[in-house]
Each structure stands twice: as structure tokens, then as C-alpha cells.
Amino acid sequence: NAGVTQTPKFQVLKTGQSMTLQCAQDMNHNSMYWYRQDPGMGLRLIYYSASEGTTDKGEVPNGYNVSRLNKREFSLRLESAAPSQTSVYFCASSETGSGETQYFGPGTRLLVL
Amino acid sequence: AQRVTQPEKLLSVFKGAPVELKCNYSYSGSPELFWYVQYSRQRLQLLLRHISRESIKGFTADLNKGETSFHLKKPFAQEEDSAMYYCALGTGTASKLTFGTGTRLQVTL
């Protein structure tokens, strides 16, 4: 039982390049989330998926797209990376509903030059 | 809009001293409050949530709706408590979380 896994662990991109961050969970959770963590700003929600087949914007969605491929997988895509997207990205999942514990992945460190 | 404020970036205490990590929130609805912790080289994990009213690793937190606070307390700090602590506010049916900026707790001998 790996919990929430993320790939890659670290990535360097040039401005304008695109990439997809992968996230998968093996806990049969319905809800999944993408956050970014920047120094002094805590974690901010980018997108979330309350259930398979649905996605919705969070606090900072600009410059990102997501796909809930199936119940297990939730990917985050940067179509044209910008230096402002340099950050640590965390994926999380929860069973469903309010008040539920979120389980986090190990994070992906992204550097955009 | 909801907001979570953790006023201290760093809190340094001696081993055996009491600890209080402050958290204040702003939300017009019924709040769900959590404390998450990130130990060195580990992933972010739940420490406790107000709805459970439980004590984890000696930590407790009481929701004070009048003061809109959810401070984290422990009577006697241990070295292994050194970590980054985040207060989070849950809103809506999808468990969306708004995080504070975090407080680094440093417990020294």
C-alpha cells in the first residue's frame, strides 16, 4: 500500500516548455487535489477533483490544467511553463466529503529557468 | 473569503517547555480545522482535527469560535516535535483546505 505517489520527484524546465506531473493513489479515495508550496506562502490549492469525472478550480489555477484519468490518477499539466511556476507541487487525496483527512504525496520539485 | 493566519514563522523552545502554536481563521460558515505536520524528509501528514477532539503525540487543540482560533498546545516539548506545522481550514463538501503559512517548531536541549 503505497498511498499517494507522484512522479517525477524533480524536474527542470525551460520557459515555454510543457510537462505533466503524475499522481496516483491506491486507497480507493474519491477526491484528489493538487497544491503548490512556495516559501512563506504555505500550500495553495491549484485544482481539485471531488470525484471521478469532475474537476474544479482552486485558489491558483492559472497556467495549469488537470485530468482525472480514472479514480486512481489525477495529473497536472503545465502547457507553457513560466519561472513563476517554480515551486514544490503536492498531490493529495481524501475519501470524500467535508472533514476528511487528506493524504499527501512526497511532492515534485519543479524549477523553471 | 476564508483565511488562515499563523503569526509565527519560527518558534524555538527548550525541551520540556510548554508549546503553543497559534492559528486564527476567518470564515463565515461552520469551520473544520486541522493541524498538519511535516517532519524532516517526510511527507505532510495529519496531526489532529477539531472534530475528533483527540490528543495526538501529546498535542491538543481547541476550537474557539468566539476568538476564531485553533491553537495547538503541548505541555512538555520533545526533540522529536521539531517540524513544520500547518493549520488548515476545511470548507465545502469537497474538503478543500486553506492552509496557513506554517510555523517551524524548533525544540532544543
Q: Each residue of A14-27: pLDDT tens digit?
A: 999 999 999 999 99
C-alpha cell at B21: 502554536
- Give A32's pLDDT tier (boundaries 50, 70, 90): very high
Best mutation target, A66, A98, A103, A108, to test chain B (most B CBs within 10 A)? A98
In this prediction, residue B20 carries a pLDDT of: 97
Asked if the C-beta of A109 comes within 8 angstroms of chain B's C-beta atoms, the answer is no
- B55-92 pLDDT tens trace: 889 999 989 989 999 999 999 999 999 999 999 998 76
- Give backbone dihedrals phi and psi of A12, rounded to 5 degrees, phi first: -115, 130
Chain A residue numbers with beta carbons less than 8 Å from the beta carbon of B98 are 45, 59
Chain B residue numbers with beta carbons less than 8 Å from the beta carbon of A33 are 96-97
Contact of A76 with A20, CB cutoff 8 Å: yes
In this prediction, residue B94 carries a pLDDT of: 58
Portion of chain A with pLDDT greater than 70, in percent: 97
For chain A, counts of helices (H) and of strands (E):
0, 11
Asked if the C-beta of A27 comes within 8 angstroms of chain B's C-beta atoms, the answer is no
Strands, DSSP E only, in B1-109? Answer: 3-5, 10-14, 19-21, 24-26, 32-38, 45-49, 60-61, 72-74, 83-91, 96-99, 103-108
| Among candidates B45, B92, B98 on the partner chain, residue whose Cβ is nearest the Cβ of A104 | B45
State yes or no: pLDDT of A1 exceeds 80.
Answer: no
Chain B residue numbers with beta carbons less than 8 Å from the beta carbon of A56 are 94
- B22-52 pLDDT tens trace: 999 999 888 889 999 999 989 999 999 887 7
Asked if the C-beta of A2 comes within 8 angstroms of chain B's C-beta atoms, the answer is no
State yes or no: pLDDT of B105 exceeds 80.
Answer: yes
State yes or no: pLDDT of A97 exceeds 70.
Answer: no
Asked if the C-beta of A48 comes within 8 angstroms of chain B's C-beta atoms, the answer is yes
CA separation for the pair B74, B6 (Å, rounded): 17
Of A51 and B54, the structure prediction assigns the larger pLDDT to A51
Give the CA angle between residues A90, A94, B20 to the nearest 5°: 70
First to last CA, chain B: 41
Whose CA is closest to B46, among A71, A4, A88? A4
In this prediction, residue A100 carries a pLDDT of: 80
Interface of B with A in 49-88 (CB under 8 A): 49, 51, 86
